[in-house]
Structure 1
Amino acid sequence: MKRVAIGLLGTVLDRGKTPDRWDKWRPTISLFQHEDLLIERFELLFEAAFQSQAQQVAEDLRSVSPETEVRFHQIPFGRDPWDLADVYGALHDWARNYEFDPENEEYLIHITTGTHIAQISLFLLNEAGFLPGRLVQTAPPRGGKRTRHHDPGHFTIIDLDLSKYDALSTRFAREAGETTDFLKSGIATRNPAFNQLIDRIEQVALRSRAPMLLTGPTGAGKSQLARRIFELRQHRGGLEGNFVEVNCATLTGDTAASALFGHVRGSFTGAQKDRPGLLREAHKGLLFLDEIGELGTDEQAMLLRALEDKTFLPVGSDKPVKSDFQLIAGTNRDLRQAVVEGRFREDLLARIHLWTFALPPLCERREDLAPNLDYELLRYAETEGRQASFNQEARRAFLRFAERPDTPWLGNFRDFNAAIVRMATLAPRGRIRIEDVDEEIQRLRASWQRPGVPTPHSSAEATIPLSPQQREQIDPFDRVQLAHVVEVCRRSTSLSEAGRELFSVSRQKRAITNDADRLKKYLAKWGLSFGDLGAFKH
């Protein structure tokens, strides 16, 4: 197989035109002076401004390795060679357009030259598979000097097939787990679908600066997740700016564009001084637009331009300003339906839905309630400065209620958090008891009732003359049956009358009927009697 090297021009280390250039170590030249490393072709990458230096290096390279073919590739790194996104993007474009032939050629990627940003980009492209092959690193001889015919230093070939390195693989797996734990605020969530979703979000957050769209019902955790993504990117992704959050439902009328894009003094009544706007505040940071579906169509058009051009016009200004921010949008609406109805721009939706992640409601993550309960208690302690905890009986009772299939959690984590805060606040000496749980369950059920809308707890179930704790210990199947029995008993004048109605089918098959006794025994099973049900007395 042919051996092909790919490398960046070292604008400092490879520099030299005078004869004494051979007295110093130049990494690109030295790569071709090792007798045990024969290279048939060299792909030399450089910026247009260094064309003459690239020509000089190519000439010197041919003098030490005449069998090597040198090919030139100009790479437009952009205005800032230290901007990771620009440099990575330019090298990524080159790699995507290069015709690799791995069946007939093996590739070495030289990572000794170029800026640190360029070297990191080559490493990332190799790791991601865009630059197939192995990395090669060169180093000077001791003292850093050499002559044309003496020690060229040494080289090291690095294979990024981490499956060969168990220790490294284990370390990367652990670090990946720590990252996803960070996005989950350290909560040991158990729902497989949610955990897979967070894994995907973590991958995108660290590899892409494209907009992200978080969908899901109100209270599902979109705002908190957006902030954690920002903090992750601050630590690992190089974000330098601020986290700016705004609920688009609060941006109404003439002030919406001003709040987002700023305005100049005198642009409208009340504009007594310049206002920078939230987009400029998010420069080099992250902008979270929650409920983006509530944004007006004019503001949608301005936002689209800001996303595509990184520029926009403040209200009343004819001079564009720049803001390079990453956008995370949140919504609890179906934006596709909003497009059909003409309330949301289709081109803006196309721009922001490249990465769309649907956060499930709490009712679809009931196995995560227990770990979230512990998290909410920790958060309460941090916020309020005092500890709170459940006694064992109370914890079991609350989780039994919380995890029931018919507990709706209409407000999702907002309801859940509010419940914990209320119980912790009212608990004597910070110890949540069974009676505190019973009181909170009644409060939650009342808050979920809607006029004219039946719920499981607005039916006869809620009128069973047992405490909430006792009702929670009855299977939902039995609870529905018992509720019906209670309803029949309450409208009947006697135990026998209620029994005749309840056993109207089976009693026809019995030679001896004793409906009252059957009903009495059924009620006794739940610790009830006919008199406990407030039945009519004559």
Structure 2
Amino acid sequence: MPKKTVVIGFLGSQLDSGQGAGRWEKWRPTISLVQHDDTLIDRLELLHSAKHTALAQQLVRDIANASPDTQVNLVPMDVADPWDFGEMYAALYDWARAYRFDPAHEQYWAHITTGTHVAQICMFLMVESRFIPGVLLQTAPPKKQQAGNPGSYTLIDLDLSRYDVLAQRFNQAHAEALEFLKSGIPTRNTRFNALIEEIERVAIRSQAPILLTGPTGAGKSHLARRMFELKKSRHQVQGDFVEVNCATLRGDSAASTLFGHKKGAFTGAAADRAGLLRTAHQGVLFLDEIGELGLDEQAMLLKAVEEKRFFPMGSDREVSSDFQLIAGTNRDLRVDVAQGRFREDLFARINLWAYTLPGLAQRPEDIEPNIDHLLARFAAESGRAVRFNVEAKARYLQFARSAEALWSGNFRDLMASATRMATLADGGRISTALVDAEIQRLQWLWKPVGNGQAESAVELSSQLSAEVEASLDLFDRLQLEAVVRICQTSSTLSEAGRRLFDRSRVQRTVINDADRLRKYLLKFGLTWDVVKRPG
């Protein structure tokens, strides 16, 4: 079914005016919209000031006479000074934000022939910034005035990449988008804020795949969903947000879950299945832990991303799905590519926009605003406000920002910590005693396990090549054994790096403990996966 055509335009106080039968002899741009025999305007949103209400009502009657199937909505829009850019843009911006656009069923034409020049510029900016999800419409009179001749019209689809919006309200929208991506949390970490600022621009301007890396619990899934919601608010996606953790996919079910299957494709395939890629049509597909996908599924995914087409299992007919891919992983896919576990061509395709989310321990200045946010959310959900005592908050933050606080579960650990304290707080106050008890819980949580075996000997011979092992001095061997022991009792490379460099890291301007540790291991031909592998 074809989409309905909706025109949004200002009333032309001069060009649209006219009284008596003679008005039909002149070209009136708004009336001309409905006089083209080959074009049906289903609805007209006619913006006008209160002082031109009578003219607007006359146009409604004339449009009903010329095109009975066209619905006209009169939209009063009073601006003190229609030549003031700020006032005009604010009025149009507020209207567009409140309007219920439906791009799936309607196409929008923004009429820029009528209204003041400032109004026309503002209409242009609203289309360029996608607050009005449509194209520009320019009408022109016939070369010779003739009754019933509607003249001509042109549709202009903007190339959004060629223009910069310099309007104050656009800057406000940019700030709102950043705040939205950060869930309203006033984060202070410079690196994280710069990363979110670039992600905001990419999310709005690009449909290309995006790769989010970082430790478990760093917020990859949450950020992917916020990116989708931001795109949806700008009318850039019409479908759903579809999320799957690839670590849960195994065997035939992996390909079936993602790409669908035909009935009888394998044992247990009792009916056709569409698959998640088709479910994500015109939406966003978030594949968390993409490094866990098998090589066959990686090849199928590459074709689906590049060509928007793929074969369901057991089918000899291709299906299509137009989705944007966001991938997440806590692995270094470069290592997986080098070791043949991840396809190089797929990595190149999804690595166009790659962002590494820092763990919570790498953002100590953001712990306070995040804990405040979590307590506020707890209050909203439980109906019970909870606050720290001054001394208790200082004690908690001192520990939370110290090298002793590993935050190996990142924001999951912080959320659990906030929930425990808020739940146990008597009278809505988190006391110093409650904080001390919580610190003990966290210390226990992060304490290496092993029943006293943490200092047991490390067998290097199974991990090192014979040549490297033979070349080790006793000093190098003892040091390497200690490093490997820390790695084997840490859940992530970053956690091991923080434990190993907990003093020298404060003297460095650029902190990348994981990279320091990775380079140290490579000196002996070792990788994180090798040292973590059971002997």
- TM-score scaled to structure 2, two decimals? 0.56
1:280 has 2:278 as partner: yes
3-state SS in 2 of match to 1:244: strand
Point out the more displaced range, 387-396 or 358-367.
387-396
Q: Which amino acid aligns with 2:145?
A: R
Alpha carbons 1:284, 1:325 under 8 Å: kept? yes
Structure 1: stretches of 5+ with no match in the other structure: 1-21, 28-81, 88-109, 114-118, 129-134, 154-159, 456-475, 478-538
Which of the residues 445, 448, 451 maps onto 1:447? 445
Residue of structure 2 equivalent to 1:490: none
Provide, for residues 5-31 of structure 1, a one-character-per-residue CA deviation record: whole Å limited to 9, x for no partner: xxxxxxxxxxxxxxxxx975799xxxx
> What is the rounded CA distance, in whole Å, between the counterparts of 1:273 and 1:120 in structure 2?
53
Residue of structure 1 equivalent to 2:208: 210
Identity of aligned residues (%): 56
Q: Kindly tell me: are residues 453 and 288 of structure 1, through their superposed partners in 2, closer, same or farther at Cα, counting changes over 3 Å? A: farther
1:435 has 2:419 as partner: no
Alignment of 1:87-166 (within 5 A): 146=145
> What is the rounded CA distance, in whole Å, between the counterparts of 1:409 and 1:253 in structure 2?
34
RMSD, aligned α-carbons: 4.1
Provide, for residues 56-78 of structure 1, a one-character-per-residue CA deviation record: whole Å limited to 9, x for no partner: xxxxxxxxxxxxxxxxxxxxxxx
Q: Displacement, 1:408?
A: 1.6
Q: Displacement, 1:257?
A: 0.8
1:201 has 2:199 as partner: yes
1:371 has 2:386 as partner: no
Residue of structure 1 equivalent to 2:386: 388
Which of the residues 328, 331, 334 maps onto 2:329? 331
Residue of structure 2 equivalent to 1:270: 268
Provide, for residues 474-495 of structure 1, a one-character-per-residue CA deviation record: whole Å limited to 9, x for no partner: xx99xxxxxxxxxxxxxxxxxx
Q: Kindly tell me: are residues 193 and 145 of structure 1, through their superposed partners in 2, closer, same or farther at Cα, counting changes over 3 Å? A: farther
> What is the rounded CA distance, in whole Å, between the counterparts of 2:217 and 2:347 in structure 1?
22
3-state SS in 1 of match to 2:234: helix
> What is the rounded CA distance, in whole Å, between the counterparts of 2:391 and 2:368 in structure 1?
14
Provide, for residues 301-326 of structure 1, a one-character-per-residue CA deviation record: whole Å limited to 9, x for no partner: 11111111111111111122211111
Provide, for residues 346-383 of structure 1, a one-character-per-residue CA deviation record: whole Å limited to 9, x for no partner: 11011111111111111111111111011111222344
Q: Displacement, 1:412?
A: 1.1
Structure 2: stretches of 5+ with no match in the other structure: 1-24, 31-101, 115-120, 131-135, 153-162, 456-481, 483-502, 505-535
Q: Kindly tell me: are residues 430 and 266 of structure 1, through their superposed partners in 2, closer, same or farther at Cα, counting changes over 3 Å? A: farther
> What is the rounded CA distance, in whole Å, between the counterparts of 2:140 and 2:201 in structure 1?
34
> What is the rounded CA distance, in whole Å, between the counterparts of 1:324 and 1:126 in structure 2?
23
- TM-score scaled to structure 1, two decimals? 0.56
Q: Kindly tell me: are residues 390 and 273 of structure 1, through their superposed partners in 2, closer, same or farther at Cα, counting changes over 3 Å? A: same
3-state SS in 2 of match to 1:196: helix
Provide, for residues 204-241 of structure 1, a one-character-per-residue CA deviation record: whole Å limited to 9, x for no partner: 00001001001111111101100100110110142111
> What is the rounded CA distance, in whole Å, between the counterparts of 1:420 and 1:406 in structure 2?
18
Q: Kindly tell me: are residues 126 and 314 of structure 1, through their superposed partners in 2, closer, same or farther at Cα, counting changes over 3 Å? A: closer
Residue of structure 2 equivalent to 1:248: 246
3-state SS in 1 of match to 2:194: helix
Alpha carbons 2:212, 2:356 under 8 Å: kept? yes
Q: Kindly tell me: are residues 388 and 344 of structure 1, through their superposed partners in 2, closer, same or farther at Cα, counting changes over 3 Å? A: same
Q: Displacement, 1:394?
A: 1.6
Alpha carbons 1:397, 1:437 under 8 Å: kept? yes
> What is the rounded CA distance, in whole Å, between the counterparts of 1:331 and 1:251 in structure 2?
15
Q: Kindly tell me: are residues 396 and 359 of structure 1, through their superposed partners in 2, closer, same or farther at Cα, counting changes over 3 Å? A: same
Count of aligned residue pairs for this structure pair? 338
> What is the rounded CA distance, in whole Å, between the counterparts of 1:453 and 1:147 in structure 2?
94
Residue of structure 2 equivalent to 1:104: none
Residue of structure 2 equivalent to 1:289: 287
Q: Displacement, 1:125?
A: 11
Q: Kindly tell me: are residues 250 and 126 of structure 1, through their superposed partners in 2, closer, same or farther at Cα, counting changes over 3 Å? A: closer
Alpha carbons 1:424, 1:430 under 8 Å: kept? yes
> What is the rounded CA distance, in whole Å, between the counterparts of 1:126 and 1:247 in structure 2?
36
3-state SS in 2 of match to 1:372: helix
Residue of structure 2 equivalent to 1:344: 342
Residue of structure 2 equivalent to 1:232: 230
Residue of structure 2 equivalent to 1:417: 415
